[in-house]
A and B are shown apart, each in its own frame.
Chain A
Amino acid sequence: MKQPSKHISNWRQFVNDYGMIFVLLFLMIILSMVTVDHQQLVGAAAGREVAQSINRIESPRNVLIATPQGKLDVEFAQSIEQELAKRHSVIAVVQSGPRQVSLALKQATVSGHPADVIACTAASAKWDPVAESSAQKIKPASYRWPNFLMPDNLVTIAQRITIIAIIAIGMTMVIITAGIDLSVGSLIALSAVVTGVMIRDCFGGKEADLFGLWCSGLAGILVCALVGLFTGLLIAAFRLPPFIVTLAMMLLIRGIANVLSDQRTIHEIPVSFDMLGKGYLFGVPISVWLMFSLYAIAYFVMSRTTLGRQIYAVGGNEEAARLSGVRVKRILLIVYTVCGLLAGLGGVIVCSQLRSAKASYGMMDELTVIAAVVVGGTSLMGGQGKILGTLIGAFIIGVIQNGMNLVHMDDKTQMIVLGSVIVLAVLLDRIKKGEVSWKEIRSVFNN
């Protein structure tokens, strides 16, 4: 039978490969709409705004500044003092609590310069002495903006996604060879615990220097890479099914992590270790830089190198690949090692984000990672899949999880939603590729 000529335009090709990006955009738009809320300006910017509204008053005023005592509040107060016009005078700056404000107000009245205006933040405006005072109260204007798109929240999402996304690179490679790796969640724990124990026992805990931190982190990653290599050996040399081998490894490694950590949380980690998980470079978290670099490398490897080609070939048809001269076993060893290594890296990042190590880290994360890969369009049958699709998949999962937290959904409901989303995403992928027909759906009930 002659096949219809299938010349697909670049656009169609893009939609086929990365159509999930539209789902992601849709999700983000929905979440932005749902989480719109009153937001307050804070810090210096808020101070400038308040000063300007006071300056609009023509006659001189006595201004009292009342704020809580945070870092941003100090900036707030300082900026008001700087920006305030000469005709006004600041009679007092109170940066503590309601009681102090009350005292300051009374003192001002007694001294004959009662406060005409109280400059306050959104928080201090609610304090009783402020609220009950007859003085004019001026606080930063509020504006409407989605909680989802607040800088703090974006950082939270990024921190969660980097872990999933980095491990999903290795998982994508494994799944493209028609395998699976269920042990990555446990590897997160193992890597974190190895790193934590090394810092505590070998490099002096909280006093550990940068060299010690590097050594410990690399040790955690290396151990996981070795576990991956061992898994690969079992699969390649003994032809054991990946599902079973990695299921066993999942239990085994979780157990080892428990033994190593003595079932306690390791807290003896210096603050400087935060750098990896929480540090910034050019305004973007370091771990996010790391994630994007790894994706750039993985994309290049999978699409342009001989290794990538061979990984696809092994998954597409192992026997044909072997007969074409591909060293199938070597390829399997490589992908499971890479997967272990990246899970190890994920574990070190978790350890750094939480500045602690515990054997229960990464519980169920293997499923989240697999979900990200599958939502990203990689076929569990092997031979097909795209690295960048996985990145989109990881974002989709991360954004959904975050969105549910923002609308205060409880854990049980979250599971239900996440499960449904995965089913829908995979279905959508099938429909998009034209592999679902009404006839086939009907035939389920006819036969």
Chain B
Amino acid sequence: MSKTNITPLLRMSNISKSFPGIQALTDVSVNLFAGEVLAIIGENGAGKSTLIKTLGGANQPDQGHMEIEGNPVRLTCPLVSQQHGIGIIYQEFNLIPFLTVRENLFLGRASHSFGLIRSQDERKTTRELFDRLGADIHPDTPVAALSIAEQQLVEIAKVLVTDVKIVVMDEPTATLTPREVQRLHDVVRELKSRGIGIIYVSHRLNEILELTDRVVVLRDGKVVGQRNIHSTNRRDLIELMVGRPIEDEFPKQPQVPGSTLLSVERLNWSDRVVDVSFTVAAGEILGITGLMGAGRTELAHLLAGAVPPDSGRLLLDGQEVRFHSPRDAIRAGVCLLTEDRKNQGLITDQTIQQNFSLPNLDRLSRYGIVKTGTERLSLAHYAETLQIKMVSGSQLAGQLSGGNQQKLVLAKWLQRRCRLIIVDEPTRGIDVGAKYEIYKLLNELVEQGMAIIMISSELPEVLGISDRVLVMQQGRITGEITDPRRATQQQVMELAAG
């Protein structure tokens, strides 16, 4: 494709940006052409978010300049960026849950005459937009009533309300099911056909290979490679991102499972978990997958005592147990690593030490007084074992990168010496290098005789790392794959979609 003779829609030249203590971007030059889908990939901390924020006007670059359709621009604030036709869909949604879809779309730009909102016009525009996106969303539904995928469509529609030329999507599929991902891709293609330039940031390489035209790889704030999509492959991209060759994406030593640790018998909760029965043995990784809303997370919460089941039994070592609270489960050795690190896993505003000690205070104290020396040593030990990159235990947990946060949550539970650890989407939002380390850790844990239930939407991961896989659909277990390494994603999808 020779596009060099055409003026790029967006030209970013030699952009540099530093924050106190770090150089976030160095001399980054990126061009985006009309009607093109450009992927930007890189590990966490590579500078993707900084680059997006620079485009959105939330950051001012220290050096470099930008042109839109050949005209130099200075994006001094988010509003200016919008006026230049740049629409950004951030990873975290910026919707107000109790307002309707229409109100959210027109927030801050309500069309009005004499101060009165012209809601009929707005409703009409909203309908047209959703027709274009192929979505059946009523303009007057409150956003809180929509699924995550639908909310994402509202975010996209919000961008399209304005006269947009460039759309930036930051990890748009992180929380979507495969079917929803497909629909999103259709939307992206539709935008592309209208001549809109799209910057697509994602960790999911399969998607990038399938959807985008060109890839820019960032590492440590620099562009380390540009690839035309037809002249690259998964391995090539991973090596570019990580900066060294990777032998095996999923390190896996098959385990010989020991005795049954936990049996679940006909577990029911509302209509989200229906008649679920299975067993998990010491020394095995049991994968559980399914579409979004299949009841996987609810199941995890039931097993860990976070919500009480309506009916059904849990047997631990053949003895019936009842967990009235997470505390009971933890005492019995069942720990849950939640999918939502920020809201359920960690107290991000408090120190690493406080987070680490929280579930273990009974062991790290005498007569209710915390043994601060012991807790520090213990953290140091686990930080060493799990290779958590931190300055000191008094750092705030929220300052760690995603991968290190996940390791901190793991450390918290390992110190607890739990016997069964339920990990819900353990690698979500984590870069390739850190993913690899988490996989290795999970392997080591089962080698030591721990049982792991791993819930994940990423099929390559589930198939690559589990000893056995259960597939859920609408609250029921619809199938079991006993030899995941030989199974295909197609087989799983058939069980999951029904």
Q: Which residues of A contact B (CB under 8 A)?
A: 1-8, 304-307, 309-310, 312-313, 316-317, 319-327, 383-384, 443, 446-447
Show 30 residue pairs from A and B whose CB-CB distance is below 8 angstroms, ordered by the A residue: A1-B49, A3-B22, A3-B400, A4-B22, A5-B21, A7-B392, A304-B370, A305-B369, A305-B370, A307-B368, A312-B350, A312-B354, A313-B354, A316-B354, A317-B344, A317-B348, A319-B344, A320-B347, A321-B347, A323-B306, A323-B338, A323-B344, A324-B358, A324-B412, A325-B330, A327-B325, A327-B327, A383-B347, A383-B349, A446-B77
CA distance A325 to B350 in the complex (A): 17
Instruction: Give the shortest distance, in Å, between B388 (CB) and chain A (any CB).
Output: 14
Residue numbers in A under 8 Å from B399 (CB-CB): 3, 6
CA distance A310 to B350 in the complex (A): 12
Instruction: Give the shortest distance, in Å, between A92 (CB) and chain B (any CB).
Output: 69
Cβ-based interface call for B391 (8 A): yes
Quick one: which of A8, A307, A324 has the most chain B CB within 10 A? A324
Q: With A313-B354, A323-B306, A327-B327 given, is the CB distance from A2 to B22 under 8 Å?
A: yes
Instruction: Give the shortest distance, in Å, between A389 (CB) and chain B (any CB).
Output: 16
18 extra A-B contacts, CB within 8 A, seeds A4-B20, A322-B306: A1-B401, A7-B391, A305-B365, A306-B362, A306-B365, A306-B368, A309-B354, A313-B354, A313-B358, A316-B347, A317-B346, A317-B348, A317-B349, A323-B306, A323-B345, A325-B325, A325-B330, A446-B77
Q: Mark B44-66, 1 if CB is under 8 A from A, else 0.
A: 11010110000000000000000
B361 contacts A306, C-beta separation under 8 Å? yes
B391 contacts A5, C-beta separation under 8 Å? yes
Q: Mark B199-211, 1 if CB is under 8 A from A, else 0.
A: 0000000000000
- Closest residue of chain A to B53, judged by CB? A1
Q: With A7-B392, A307-B368, A325-B359 given, is the CB distance from A313 to B45 under 8 Å?
A: no
Q: Mark B397-424, 1 if CB is under 8 A from A, else 0.
A: 0011100000000001000000000000
CA distance A384 to B398 in the complex (A): 14
How big is the B interface, by class?
A: 35 or more
Residue numbers in B under 8 Å from A307 (CB-CB): 368
CA distance A321 to B325 in the complex (A): 12
Which of the residues B24, B325, B359 comes within 8 Å of A1, measured between beta carbons?
Answer: B24
Residue numbers in B under 8 Å from A312 (CB-CB): 350, 354
Q: With A6-B399, A316-B349 given, is the CB distance from A324 to B369 under 8 Å?
A: no
Cβ-based interface call for B487 (8 A): no
Residue numbers in B under 8 Å from A327 (CB-CB): 325, 327
Q: Which residues of B contact A (CB under 8 A)?
A: 19-22, 24, 44-45, 47, 49-50, 77, 79, 304, 306, 325-327, 330-331, 336, 338, 343-350, 354, 357-359, 361-362, 365, 368-370, 372, 391-392, 394-396, 399-401, 412
CA distance A323 to B412 in the complex (A): 12
Which of the residues B327, B346, B400 comes within 8 Å of A320, measured between beta carbons?
Answer: B346
B325 contacts A322, C-beta separation under 8 Å? yes
CA distance A3 to B19 in the complex (A): 9
Instruction: Give the shortest distance, in Å, between A236 (CB) and chain B (any CB).
Output: 13
- Closest residue of chain B to A301, judged by CB? B368
Residue numbers in A under 8 Å from B391 (CB-CB): 5-7
B347 contacts A313, C-beta separation under 8 Å? yes
Residue numbers in A under 8 Å from B343 (CB-CB): 317, 319-320
CA distance A383 to B350 in the complex (A): 8
- Closest residue of chain B to A381, judged by CB? B349
A2 contacts B401, C-beta separation under 8 Å? yes
A443 contacts B50, C-beta separation under 8 Å? no
B369 contacts A304, C-beta separation under 8 Å? yes
- Closest residue of chain A to B331, judged by CB? A325
- Closest residue of chain B to A2, judged by CB? B45
CA distance A326 to B344 in the complex (A): 13
- Closest residue of chain B to A328, judged by CB? B325
B44 contacts A1, C-beta separation under 8 Å? yes
Q: With A5-B391, A320-B344, A320-B346 given, is the CB distance from A309 to B22 under 8 Å?
A: no
Instruction: Give the shortest distance, in Å, between B291 (CB) and chain A (any CB).
Output: 24
Residue numbers in A under 8 Å from B326 (CB-CB): 322-325
CA distance A310 to B357 in the complex (A): 10
CA distance A8 to B351 in the complex (A): 13
Which of the residues A2, A4, A321 comes within 8 Å of B358, measured between beta carbons?
Answer: A321
CA distance A95 to B85 in the complex (A): 93
Which of the residues B44, B345, B358 comes within 8 Å of A309, measured between beta carbons?
Answer: B358
Instruction: Give the shortest distance, in Å, between A361 (CB) and chain B (any CB).
Output: 35
CA distance A306 to B362 in the complex (A): 8
- Closest residue of chain B to A8, judged by CB? B394
Which of the residues B47, B370, B396 comes within 8 Å of A306, measured between beta carbons?
Answer: B370
Residue numbers in B under 8 Å from A443 (CB-CB): 77
- Closest residue of chain B to A323, judged by CB? B326
Instruction: Give the shortest distance, in Å, between A422 (CB) and chain B (any CB).
Output: 23
CA distance A304 to B350 in the complex (A): 15
* Closest 8 pairs (CB-CB, A-B): A4-B21, A316-B347, A325-B327, A306-B361, A3-B399, A324-B359, A325-B330, A317-B347
Q: With A1-B45, A5-B21, A320-B346 given, is the CB distance from A309 to B361 under 8 Å?
A: yes
Which of the residues A309, A323, A383, A447 comes within 8 Å of B370, measured between beta carbons?
Answer: A309
Residue numbers in A under 8 Å from B350 (CB-CB): 312-313, 316, 383-384
CA distance A306 to B354 in the complex (A): 10
Which of the residues A1, A6, A310, A322 comes within 8 Å of B395, measured between beta carbons?
Answer: A6
A447 contacts B21, C-beta separation under 8 Å? no
Residue numbers in A under 8 Å from B346 (CB-CB): 317, 320
Instruction: Give the shortest distance, in Å, between B376 (CB) and chain A (any CB).
Output: 13
CA distance A321 to B47 in the complex (A): 32
A323 contacts B77, C-beta separation under 8 Å? no
CA distance A5 to B396 in the complex (A): 11
A4 contacts B19, C-beta separation under 8 Å? yes
Instruction: Give the shortest distance, in Å, between A144 (CB) and chain B (any CB).
Output: 48
B336 contacts A323, C-beta separation under 8 Å? yes
Residue numbers in B under 8 Å from A4 (CB-CB): 19-22
- Closest residue of chain A to B50, judged by CB? A1
Q: With A7-B391, A309-B357, A309-B358 given, is the CB distance from A326 to B327 under 8 Å?
A: yes
